Amino acid sequence: MKGNSRLRQILTPGLIIMLALAFTAGAQTYPNSTFQPHSELGRSIDFLWNRLFLLATIVFVLVEGALIYVIFRYRHTGKETEKPPQTHGHAVLEVIWTLIPALILLFIAVPTVRIIFQTQAKVAAGALEIDVIGHQWWWEFRYPEYNITTANEIYIPVGRTVNFKLNSNDVNHSFWTPELGGKRDLIPNHTNYIWFTPDSTMKSSVWNGFCTEYCGTSHGKMRFRVFTVQPAEFASWVAGQQRPATFGATAPAVPAPASAPTVAPPPSNGAQLASLPVGYTFPHNQPEFAYAKPNTPIPADLNFTKGLTGSAARGMQVYSSAACIGCHAINGNPSSVGVVGPNLTHFGSRSTIAAGNFPNTPAYLALWIKNARKMKPGVIMPTLGLNEYDPQLKKPVEKAMGGLDDQQIADIVAYLSSLK
């Protein structure tokens, strides 16, 4: 009797917690969840997971149930008068407990092997190829079919199979978009592929992507975004990306012409920045899912002069004679042909800075250019703000090292933001 009520004491709350978990699990959509897949690849893996989980649950309940039953049913009561019958070898039992695991393994192995072959198969003809190149700690994306190079954000049309060709520029990385499918490693000197088809019934959406293979200091900040858009939206995005940079292929004279676009002055300090509304929407003015917004704090000691207005025309001059051009390419700006950092040709059309870490607004961009190494530890991009402390060189940036004052940075911000 005493044993039974103690059992109830343990089981009742346990059951309530399990039921509560089961109900809440279905009640909400979680960011970065693999349980609502939006491609055939995601669904295959989800199916396999469900199958294994179901079988494992059945085994668990049967085994633990039998165990608990036997423990209580045959517990030592002190009233036993003689030893129970002793069994040595039991052919039927032996056969049963060999057969059951064999059957379970069969139920696991058949779909597993089938899905391994399915997910490793070569992609069908007609897929959209996207070359993915991992860098510490950002993503380069190339569309050979359209001759486009971009970074950290991919656009793919719903309903068309995409074949990602995975390579790395430095160390191992891994490509993963939890809600669409994945993951697969990017290995130096070795090409991997992963392909899937975003569901054709999907409305235009944005998904988070991650590096899931530790690759150094800022591995956790190596994110990307996938925009699944309608075919017509994709076509217009492609057309936009194929054009050279929209702002001034030839450098205009300083001071800037009246028509030069300007940006609102970046605010003065981190606290103010954090409270700014995140000023971008996508796709095409549809609000984004809240969870796809970057949420990376700004270093508290990184400030920017109040009330500056940038000039894109001046900014192009400053940019084109600064260190930037050695690392960044802007198609249409003949002096900017570097390949160390992300291609900036259409930087103004991206929603984030620095591999999904900060919203692409003038305020964040100004701080990024001023001290990228404070915003994202370890990056190759140097600290460029005059008198800013470079955490890697462990000294402040001087004029002779190419240090830029806040007005020059505001001008570059105006220039880069105009590159839609």
Per the listing, tokens 């608990």 go with 68
Q: Is 133 in the site for ligand HEC (CB under 6 A)?
A: no
Binding mask 294-333 for ligand HEC (x = CB under 6 A): -------------------------x--xxx-xxx-----
Strand, helix or coil for residue 401: helix
Q: Which does 223 bind (CB under 5 to 8 A by kind): Cu ion, ligand HEC, none?
A: none
Q: What residue 359 binds from ligand HEC, Cu ion, none (CB within 5 to 8 A, per partner kind)?
A: none
Q: Which stretch binds ligand HEC (CB under 6 A): 168-176, 206-214, 335-343, 385-393?
A: 335-343
385 touches ligand HEC by CB under 6 A? no
Site string for ligand HEC, 398-417 (x = CB under 6 A): --------------x---x-
Interaction of residue 340 with ligand HEC, rule CB under 6 A? yes
For residues 135 and 219, which CB has a smaller minimum distance to Cu ion in the complex? 219
Q: Which long-range contacts (CB under 8 A, 24 or more apart) does 142-146 make?
A: 143/238, 146/238, 146/241, 146/242
Helices and strands (H and E) in the chain: how many: 10, 16
Q: What mask of x and - would describe binding to Cu ion in positions 306 to 325, judged by CB under 5 A?
A: --------------------
| Cβ closest to Cu ion, residue 173 vs residue 346 | 173
Please report the DSSP string for 369-387 in residue order. HH-HHHHSTT-SSPP-BTT
Task: Give the helix ranges, DSSP H, for 220-265.
Answer: 231-242
Q: How far is the CB of 215 from Cu ion (least distance, A)?
A: 3
380 binds ligand HEC (CB under 6 A): yes
Pick one of Cu ion, ligand HEC, none as the site partner of residue 215 (Cβ within 5 to 8 A by kind).
Cu ion
Q: Which of 379, 397, 410, 419 binds ligand HEC (CB under 6 A)?
A: 379
Residue 385: name its binding partner from ligand HEC, Cu ion, none (Cβ under 5 to 8 Å by kind).
Answer: none
- Per CB under 6 A, which region of 100-108, 245-253, 254-262, 372-380 contacts ligand HEC? 372-380
Q: Rounded CA gap, 366 and 361, in Å? A: 9
Location of structure tokens 């020059």: 408
Among 331, 347, 406, 418, indicate the residue that binds ligand HEC (CB under 6 A).
347
Strands 128-135 and 162-168 turn out to be parallel
Closest approach, Cβ 173 to Cu ion, in A, equals 5
DSSP secondary structure letter of residue 258: T
Q: Which residues contact 193 (CB under 8 A, 6 or more apart)?
A: 122, 123, 163, 164, 165, 166, 184
End-to-end Cα spacing for the chain: 76
Tell the residue number behind the tokens 């057969």, with chain if given. Answer: 99
Half-sphere exposure of 376 (CA within 13 A, CB side): 28
Residues in the site for Cu ion, rule: CB under 5 A? Answer: 173, 211, 215, 219, 222
